[in-house]
Structure 1
């Protein structure tokens, strides 16, 4: 699409200076350039690394976000012709008491706020971590449920921390997820920098299969960011990778600290304004935001067990529920596993999972979208056991067999050969 998106530079009435860097650019508009790479591929396993930033938004209903992690921006945004006024405190951004942050867009103006077009018609919220947290490289992800309706524009994105010195777009911008209401089944990931900003940003879209809509369920949006490469994924499926080679000789500005931003805009050049079909209030619901270190996505390595066979994702299928089995070692991606510092064991961008969170002997293990539950936590110890602490049981090859296709399960730890594993880290 050639949507005339432009930068959303500083809000006109910031509540604080926000290091002004924080407020300065914006979700620069710009749908991905035509011909961008849209072919889904297996996601890289996250690097085995420490979590450097995490907010699970736990707290009482109505509470404001943690001010040690986030600051609130206020004001309107003439640059994108957005219609909302971003308010302070917990008026439009509050915890729901169930482990979520809820950013709410309302058709209201209780404070008689003034916008670029006159008296503001809508309120919403925009948060960032400038001055509180930045990262250079790593795995950056959020699990969210987006709003629906014409004119809605939720986003999870990052800006270069030097924006106050060099301005936008020289600072760089990484849009991890943007959605516009007229595309309910599609999200976009985009890079913006000098000479490729606004509608000239470099990016692509990802569309859910079968007419599913992003507003109907939570989804996980992530980038794996390393020197000279940014990779985007949705629910563990990679849909684009970008390197300096994609910029046609223009400057790559993504090897320095960036801070995080969450916001819900109403209207603007790209999404268009709300109309009679748009129902208010609308909400962007955020389950968590998490950043972990690691200069590159880990390539992973084999996990070998009884008979020298490898732990294998059946048919290299990335669908949730795919069986985990033993198979002759062949070096393919279905046998490359990464043991993360968060306790996950990952292949093909998804997690080793105990089916239905079971704890009984014989509960099978499977591949499943990573979700942070205890069913996906493992300890690989020096005794060569791989233990699920929730069940206090060991990864086990069914029937003490080493035949190709032997299903893996959990079972009471017995120290037998079918429960011993060699993990390549």
Structure 2
């Protein structure tokens, strides 16, 4: 997919705007940048593209993404092993493909960054193979706008996710250092399931973790598994906003989140560097326990297709700490998030 698209107009901004976008973005730091494109936000503020993958090549850009290789189950009793097999992860026709296949596999029983991780370990197992990519160490940001255009899988047991984890885990183990879910969905087209979800995880280390968020339905009964849609998140000091196809549907603020590691820090844990993850899980404690429950083996193989991933940043206001807010009318909904009903 060629640059660029957005809910608002895109333009190459004059030198003054370009200068405002240099030197680390919204007061935070990014580990990679792309020069030459700026995004004019609806408030005429200057969002600048600092990192992107358009998936226009013939293979995955490993300068931007790393494979995960494990049969850990994601901490959610998921059924897949993540592999680097080209049958599961490939780039073609301008899209990234992450495909879940019913296939027995073995591999490490812990996550890739666990101190005991050993790539030769075969103590973990799964009945599906799939793909999970992350930008850690290749793209890490504190604040910005994140846009991903994707088409989601369908069927009982599918669990696609576009999300973020802390790079440095400065506040401790999950979820005291936070998790930002830009988009998750489960079991699309099963019993009319048509929702995507935007969620934050925070609080203390599991099991003292908490979460909050909100679901969203596309207009006119459309289903996210039927076509490509843009999922976006704007993250700045003290506020995170979610969008689908430019429609702002949820906001959370630092009044509602916290980290037990730094209870007096008003913005913790969402004030440190995070990186992106893209994956397609199978089954588990969410997808496998709602709608029709379990995994429908006849629904597989299934895949998530990603058209592009783009990261924008801008200079923060030193007085307010705010960046290029595309909505500033106080729209805030921060209810307790609930998974789909069985």
TM bucket, shorter chain: 0.5 to 0.7
d(CA) in 2 for partners of 1:155, 1:208:
17
Larger radius of gyration: 1
d(CA) in 2 for partners of 1:130, 1:248:
23
How far did 1:232 drift?
0.4
Mapping 1:16-415, distance limit 5 Å = 47-60=45-58, 63=59, 65-78=60-73, 79-96=75-92, 98-109=93-104, 119-163=125-169, 166-181=172-187, 182=190, 184-195=193-204, 200-247=210-257, 251=263, 252-272=268-288, 274-276=294-296, 278-294=298-314, 295=316, 296-298=323-325
How far did 1:104 drift?
0.3
d(CA) in 2 for partners of 1:86, 1:277:
18
Normalised by the length of structure 2, the TM-score is 0.67
* C-alpha contact 1:149 1:274 (8 A) present in aligned 2: no
d(CA) in 1 for partners of 2:108, 2:127:
9
Q: Which structure's relative contact order is higher, taking Cα pairs within 8 Å and 6+ residues apart?
A: 2
* C-alpha contact 2:158 2:282 (8 A) present in aligned 1: yes
For the residue of structure 1 that corresponds to 2:225, the secondary structure is helix
d(CA) in 2 for partners of 1:170, 1:229:
18
Distance 1:260 1:276, change over 3 A: closer
Distance 1:259 1:223, change over 3 A: same
How far did 1:120 drift?
2.1
How far did 1:77 drift?
2.5
- The structure where helix makes up a greater share of residues is 1
d(CA) in 2 for partners of 1:165, 1:248:
11
Distance 1:103 1:248, change over 3 A: closer
How far did 1:82 drift?
0.2
Q: State the number of aligned residues.
A: 255
For the residue of structure 2 that corresponds to 1:214, the secondary structure is coil
* C-alpha contact 2:69 2:107 (8 A) present in aligned 1: no
d(CA) in 1 for partners of 2:326, 2:278:
30
Normalised by the length of structure 1, the TM-score is 0.55
d(CA) in 1 for partners of 2:205, 2:88:
32
How far did 1:211 drift?
2.5
How far did 1:297 drift?
2.8
* C-alpha contact 2:182 2:233 (8 A) present in aligned 1: yes
d(CA) in 2 for partners of 1:121, 1:299:
43
Distance 1:69 1:149, change over 3 A: same
Distance 1:154 1:276, change over 3 A: closer
Write the deviation string for residues 389-421 of structure 1: whole angstroms up to 9, x where unpaired. Answer: xxxxxxxxxxxxxxxxxxxxxxxxxxxxxxxxx
d(CA) in 2 for partners of 1:249, 1:123:
34
Per the alignment, residue 353 of structure 1 pairs with none
For the residue of structure 1 that corresponds to 2:145, the secondary structure is strand
For the residue of structure 1 that corresponds to 2:255, the secondary structure is helix
* C-alpha contact 2:153 2:303 (8 A) present in aligned 1: yes
* C-alpha contact 1:46 1:224 (8 A) present in aligned 2: no
How far did 1:212 drift?
1.7
